[in-house]
Chains A and B, each alone.
Chain A
Amino acid sequence: MATNTGDFVVRFSFWSRFQHAMIILLFGLLLLTGMPQKWPGLAASRWIVDHLGGIFAARWLHRATGIAFTALVVAHLTVAIGGILLGRIKPSMLLGKRDFRDAIDNLRYYAGYADTPPKFGRFDYRQKFEYWGLIFGSLIMVATGYILYFPILVSRVLPAELIPAAKVMHSYEALFAFLIVLIWHMAGAHLSPEAFPMDTTIFTGKISKEKLKHEHPLEYEDLFGKS
């Protein structure tokens, strides 16, 4: 995992960084091709669709990107589950009771009822909740996406009302994901006083020891012992 290289520690492997970059690309493409279909009446939607080569081209791109996104989700889950089973990855993203306690303690600290924030491990509760939100959100998007991709096949084996329900779910879940990324993720990675103007760790893989000690003190102690 994290390796000591002078003042910095390697926090994210190439695979993690690659996945993050792919998510930016694929999620961006999915939003670009999907959102105009959610609001087809807007002039902006028409402009985007026209510049993508029309609605059929936009839908083709959306589906192709969806397939790539599915591959990414499958690869991620395979590597994560396989890695944990083989003992090569520490299950640091798993949620525990501690995370809920941390959330409450941290909010108490924010509100002024505690003098220090709780000590976080490799991932704090905000990162874990966002991660699990992303995992379940992706599974919902993938499942509903394929229902919409193959409606006739679905209607042969399952009640056909699933198809319009999947459409509503796909649309709202996408909006929710977009809002989370726009408000929560962007605020955390760019506007947060600790990160401003930008937290580059996920792109470079490096985190300074100082930042690690401040933001993930338990992991720091695991690596370097209590100082």
Chain B
Amino acid sequence: MTRRQRSKVSATAGLLALTALLGVSPAFGQQAAKPAPIPDAVANCLGCHEDKSLALTFKDGSTMSLFVDINDLKHSVHGSQLICTDCHGKYDQDHPSGATFPSRRAYTVGAYELCKKCHFDTYTRTLESVHYELLKAGVDSAPMCVDCHGSHNIQNPHQKRAMMSRSCAVCHTDVYKVYASSVHGRVLVEDDNQDVPACADCHTHHQIQQPGTKFRLNSPETCVRCHGNAQLMAKYGISTTVAQTYLADFHGVTASLSRNLSESQQQMVVTCNDCHGVHNIASPKLKGPEAMRATVTAACSRCHQDAAPSFPAAWLSHYPPSPRHAPLVWTVQWFYTIFIPFAVIGLILHLLLHVYRLSAGR
């Protein structure tokens, strides 16, 4: 094969590959632009389910609308990928059969395992969550996949973080209200700001655990995921030294060495949450220096009950020592960083000179 022939072959192969890609991609390409045409299999179901009055009555008398809004489906992440029977496969033969469920909720609980056909890894993670514990304990209202993600209208949860967080509010209403007025929550809820943590960013999703002491002890790691990100913090004029200064501080040392502590000892470890709050985190800057001092004093005296008003000044407020912030600390630090190497090198030279005299000088 000559070089020209070879290049012709590779060009053809490339063209074929491109065609193949284009052939596959409309499903993805059109998802963003305009929804895919409705497949026949879906259109068949819609023949009945377009009827807004179509409803089902369960054994306990609760009802469920069987109307499916085709627009919901078309705009959902699954719109161009799944047909009705991919999820509702059970009803192929003996249709309609929903009425066999004792209640509306029982139907949803029964549908818990539908998603695992594709999302098996996610499903297994939910089995280790506090929500699944509730379900096992017989709490029917424990959230199922569809309670958070929706059903026919499922959206990409990574893009719709505000919406996902609102789904938590259905049960955790009070916590959500506090969060929604915090420095993080307010901008998520009001501006759909994607930089701030939504519920799942701290609590994780699917494998959500009861936020106990372990969660609290882990809060430095949780917070540093964003507060250690220089690029992200620069946007808001927030220092990324918060983590280092915390770790260098007395409380940070305790936290670093807190492995294997007993439950009661763990209560004595101070992490981010203990001073900054949890769902109600507010910006220290926006509060102003006066209010901030009061907040810090209150935070200190939660553990140091007999703390004097002057005590919080012992804390360097997350500033690394500098001539402006904590000049005394800065001076001591510099003195030793110069003095120690100077003295140690001098002593080593003295020792080496001794050896030199004994070996060569005599």
Q: Which residues of A contact B (CB under 8 A)?
A: 36-37, 40-41, 45-46, 49-50, 54-56, 58, 107, 109-112, 126, 151-152, 155-156, 159-165, 167-169, 172-173, 175-176, 179-180, 183-184, 187, 192-193
Contacts and interface: CB of A to CB of B under 8 A. Distances in A.
Contacts of B354: 110, 192
A166 to B, nearest CB: 9
B351 A184 contact: yes
Contacts of B268: 56
B340 A156 contact: no
Interface stretch (B24-32, B229-237, B247-255, B287-295): B247-255
Question: Which DSSP category, helix, strand, loop or mixed, fits chain B's interface?
Answer: helix
A173 B252 CA distance: 21
Interface of B: 247, 250, 252-254, 256-262, 265, 268, 304, 306-308, 310-316, 321, 326, 328-329, 332-333, 336-337, 339-340, 343-344, 347-348, 350-351, 353-358, 361
Query: Which 10 A-B pairs give the minimum distances between C-beta atoms?
Result: A172-B336, A40-B256, A160-B313, A163-B314, A160-B314, A110-B353, A55-B257, A155-B311, A110-B357, A165-B328
B257 A107 contact: no
Given A40-B257, A164-B329, 7 more contacts: A54-B260, A160-B313, A161-B328, A168-B332, A176-B336, A183-B348, A193-B358
A56 B266 CA distance: 10
Chain A CB within 10 A, most for which of B247, B256, B304, B358? B256
Contacts of B350: 107, 110, 126
Contacts of B306: 152
Contacts of A55: 253-254, 257-258, 261
B247 A41 contact: yes
A125 B208 CA distance: 67
B304 A41 contact: no
A49 B257 contact: yes
A45 B340 contact: no
22 contacts: A36-B257, A37-B257, A40-B253, A41-B256, A46-B257, A50-B259, A54-B260, A54-B262, A55-B253, A58-B257, A111-B356, A126-B350, A151-B311, A155-B308, A155-B310, A161-B329, A162-B328, A164-B321, A165-B328, A169-B336, A175-B336, A180-B344
Nearest to B300: A152
B284 to A, nearest CB: 19
Contacts of A155: 307-308, 310-311, 313-314
Nearest to B354: A110
Given A155-B311, A184-B351, A176 B265 contact: no
A206 B333 CA distance: 42
A47 to B, nearest CB: 10
Contacts of A36: 257
B332 A107 contact: no
Nearest to B253: A40
B340 A172 contact: yes
Nearest to B252: A40
